[in-house]
Structure 1
């Protein structure tokens, strides 16, 4: 079983994406139907929709869209990692109003925001509220911001965090050493998991298996097999290939792993972190 913990869908007729015009290769509709066809072909068994940083007023509408897709016949979608604004005073009211049959976790994109956003007392108090809500929080930062991610994890030790995209290493420019040091450091926090997702998008487009292997091996070596999950980061993965290529790369990287290690990475850890019923 392969669970995709990071699927983005884009419907420009239904929702507004303020950032999308700045990324021309992605500035189109990316439908569930198109994803479903490929996902079934490559063996993806279930998926979580990851919020796509829609216009803030449309955050509830994005969750509603996912809820509707979950009810479709033969749907692979098992829930949403919804957007949230922990920097806002109304965040805890927002938590109480969530449809927990749909929302399995939350994320606030941080790499495009000022570094001090996640350091405010209000932000951290609101993140700590996720412990009682039993909702994990995806951390989306650049490699240069991994220290901020570690600080946030320390400020909310009872919250389960998931570091997206291996901490976004600068693979294209060979930014391994500084990134690897920060990954080793943040992995010391037992409440932090890591998502091996979409690395092909950071290669600059020219890469082979051995380009990505050192990054994946360092992440797994640092976090261990019980704190790693897989994600496609579709359609962002198309910036360096496509969904099929990333799945094939993943299987190649897993060659030689034990059955238990493979199961933990591909499905078991995701089921635990997001309480996915498959």
Structure 2
């Protein structure tokens, strides 16, 4: 995880850094089942596809939003049709007897697009699910194929996550949304100690994403600052990457509002690491080298 990023030549011939949104969703509720949407804000209970993001031209990684392998294939199709999509974090039934074959099939179907797998751990009733031995083969397969494990967890799951990581040295793991701390109620201490323990594993990174939507009603955006500071204190500037979590983000802010706020926070808490957080780290961790050099125009 060296944090070196892609760049592209501008019209004058010099290199410009590529901004990578490491956590973007597109979904089509007319063709796939997204059970969690039934309990989501009404504004999210519709389809969100590439035209809906408007003039945003940042490169991105698409992340699954349904526990369905068909959605991963759908995201592959979108990635092939949409400029700037660098990779897909998909879903697979990790406890299936043929989980390794399913993962390998997705690798083949993605033709280079699959860069990670994300089980929807936060929605599984068993908070110790990640520690089940039945998952060992699937996690070994991710590690052996160089795929990232995106950990959609909160504080309830961090003990099991730590247990899982000890069983798979070298498994590249990215903690989504900083493990969803309870920012609304300012519950800092338990989360802070647990995420710091996870950060001690060198192959674990963290996404600076999804935090505004965890704030209290009224969007007290300043409430996220101590949590962001602790993320950088724990992981350092070379193991944190920015993500929009669009369109979930739109319940609290626009894409550009969150990006500008995140840039200010990085300048404050991780000076000199802005290029890494906004592209270089994602390039390194998700093995995107080479893809960023063929992008079209980015914002």
Structure 1 runs, 4 residues or longer, greater than 6 Å off: none
Which structure 1 segments of 5+ residues have no match?
none
> What's 1:161 paired with?
173
Residues 166-225 of structure 1 show CA distances to partners (whole Å, capped at 9, x for unaligned) of: 010000011111111111111111121111102001002333443111111100111111
Residues 38 and 153 of structure 1: CA distance in aligned 2, closer, same or farther (over 3 Å): farther
Distance 1:53 1:172 in 2: 26
Q: Residue 148 in 1 paired to residue 156 in 2? A: no
Can you give the 5+ residue segments of structure 2 that lack an aligned partner in the other structure? Answer: 1-17, 293-299
The question of whether the paired residues in 2 share the 8 Å contact of 1:118 and 1:152 is answered with yes
2:55 and 2:93 map into 1 onto residues whose CA distance is 33
Deviates more, 1:11-20 or 1:87-96: 11-20
Question: Matches of 2:244 and 2:47 in 1, distance apart?
Answer: 17
Cα shift readout 1:62-99 (whole Å, capped 9, x = no counterpart): 233222222336x1211110012212211100122122
User: Map of 1:1-278 to 2, 5 A cutoff?
Assistant: 1-25=18-42, 26-35=44-53, 37-40=54-57, 44=58, 46-54=59-67, 56=68, 59=69, 61-72=70-81, 75-98=83-106, 99-113=110-124, 114-256=126-268, 257-259=270-272, 261-276=273-288, 277-278=291-292
Secondary structure of the residue that 2:128 maps to in structure 1? Answer: helix
Q: 1:208 to 1:214 in 2, by over 3 A?
A: same
- Hey, what's the Cα distance between the residues in 2 that align with 1:275 and 1:154? 23
Secondary structure in 1 aligned to 2:283?
helix
**Any idea what the Cα deviations from partners look like across 1:118-139, whole Å, max 9, x if unmatched?**
1211212321221111101000
The alignment partner of 1:89 has SS state of: coil
Q: Is the 8 A contact 1:83 1:108 kept in 2?
A: yes
CA RMSD in angstroms, aligned pairs only: 1.7
Which deviations, in whole Å up to 9, do the C-alpha atoms of 1:208-247 show, x marking residues without a partner? 4431111111001111111111111111112322322211
Q: Is this contact kept in 1: 2:263–2:274, CA < 8 A? A: no
Compare 190-199 and 145-154 and name the one that shifted more. 145-154
TM-score by length of 1: 0.90
Q: Distance in 2 between matches of 1:18 and 1:178?
A: 30
SS at match of 2:267: coil
Tell me the distance in 2 between the aligned counterparts of 1:148 and 1:121: 12
Could you tell which deviates more after superposition, 104-113 or 198-207? 198-207
TM-score by length of 2: 0.84
**How many positions carry a matched residue from both structures?**
267
Check whether the contact 1:167–1:183 (CA below 8 A) recurs between aligned residues: yes
My pick for the range that moved more, 236-245 or 92-101, is: 236-245
| Structure with greater helix share of residues | 1
